[in-house]
Amino acid sequence: MLSLMKLRRVVTINQVPKVFQEDSIISGYRHPRSSATDCILSIFQLTNETLNIWTHFLPTWYFLWKLVSVVLIQTAWQHTFTWPLVVFLVSCCMYPLASSCAHTFSSMSARVRHICFYIDYAALSFYSLGSATTYSAYVFPDKWVNTFFHRCFIPVALLNSVICTILACYSRFPECQSPRFSKVLRVVAFAYPYLFGNIPLFYRVFLCVGEGCTDNHTNILHYKHIALAFLTGFLFTTHLPERLAPGSFDYIGHSHQLFHVFGILGTHFQMTALEQDMATRRSWLVDHSLPITFANSVGVGLLCLLFNLGIILAFSLPLLTTPACQQNKHSKHGKAHSS
């Protein structure tokens, strides 16, 4: 079967440069000089990346269907109140698609690997802004609506998104020499915009008491989303379960696959909660909340995309003239790092 499909055989951790190695993943690596065709064919071959690819590629179509239904069926362009949801759904389509493509083509070379994950990080950063845009429009507790924090929320979220992309991309530079520092920097890059963007939600569901707390039936969905978000963060930082038994979860069940699955489930509950808040609170929000305009919805999303494209370009250009990592130095499987 391998010969019929011209699939390259997988290799072990000792046969790939350090930049390609994953923590506690011993086997199932694709050749580090795969062609684009090899990478595409490998999605039909069992490697340690196969489920990483499919667990994000398939949900992309689900979120795309949701986006199309909102834009075409609900005619979102005719109602400014729906624009933040459109920005959010676009980000929900972008981040799993970018991740799927990054995992597909990351074995072409060290330089291509870095660029692929720059795009992946930028898409996740944009998703954080998409979430903040909808939270500002639909989720803020009643007592926080129209406050100074509410008015500053989206501009700060945009700034956080840009900082997130810069830090995440930069984290790949010291990755070979200081993998732990690189990992910590990347965790901070994504945790900070998430925590800031969820301040109004955390206050609403955990701290707020009395009148104006927006305690409705949607909160149970928010609880599920929050629980799954923290679970994905736990999996990303701990590399469980493969760290407990290196080599046992190389193909199925390692932390990055679980990270993808729980992350998508969390996004699903988040989307469902946003739609419910949007529907049940619409009349009150239209009368009392900040008006939704192009500038604080679609406009800020486009601006974020432009900033992120510039950051990707700025980090990618040096890779054309300097080595991305010492590709000729292979290391043993004791210490490695993840993408």
Residue 132 sits at the vertex; the CA angle it makes with 96 and 222, to the nearest 5 degrees, is 80
pLDDT (0 to 100) of residue 1? 45
List the structure tokens of 4.
């019929």
Nearest to 127 by CA among 172, 161, 99: 161
40: nearest Cα among 119, 108, 104, 129: 104
Note the pLDDT tens digit of each residue in 79-99.
Answer: 899 999 999 999 999 999 999
What is the spatial distance between Cα 217 and Cα 194, in angstroms, rounded to a whole number?
Answer: 23
* CB 325 within 8 Å of CB 19: yes
Residue 258 amino acid letter: L
CA distance 164 to 141: 26
Token pair 């990054």: residue: 102
Crossing angle of helices 179-197 and 110-134, rounded to 10°: 20
Distance from C-alpha of 216 to C-alpha of 238, rounded to nearest angstrom: 34
Distance CA(231)–CA(223), nearest Å, equals 12
Q: Write down the pLDDT at residue 336.
A: 38
Q: Which pLDDT value is given to residue 167?
A: 97
pLDDT digits (tens, 9 = 90+) for 278-301: 999 999 999 999 999 999 999 999
CB-based contacts of 247: which residues, under 8 Å, 6+ apart?
24, 25, 26, 27
All residues at 6 or more sequence positions from 161 whose CB lies less than 8 Å from its CB, including other chains: 125, 126, 128, 129, 193, 304, 307, 308
Sequence-ordered strand ranges (E) for 40-169: none
Phi, psi dihedrals of residue 134, rounded to the nearest 5°: -75, -35
Give the C-alpha separation, 130 to 123, whole Å. 10
CB of 310 within 8 A of CB of 172?
A: no
Residues 126 and 109: their CA atoms lie apart, in Å, by 26
pLDDT tens digits for range 192-209: 999 999 999 999 999 998
Determine if the pTM surpasses 0.85. yes
pLDDT at 325: 54
d(CA 280, CA 66): 19
Asked if residue 198 lies in contact with residue 134, where contact means CB atoms within 8 angstroms, the answer is no
Q: Where are the domains of the chain?
A: 51-320
CATH architecture of 51-320: Up-down Bundle (1.20)
Q: What whole-number distance in Å separates Cα of residue 90 and Cα of residue 194?
A: 18
Q: Which residues, given as ranges, of the chain have pLDDT below 70? A: 1-5, 76, 322-339
How many residues are present in the chain?
339
Would you list the DSSP string of 69-80? IIIIIS-GGG-G
Tell me, what's the pLDDT at 210?
87
Paired tokens of 140: 């803020």
How wide is the angle at C-alpha 113 spanned by C-alphas 88 and 122, nearest 5°? 20
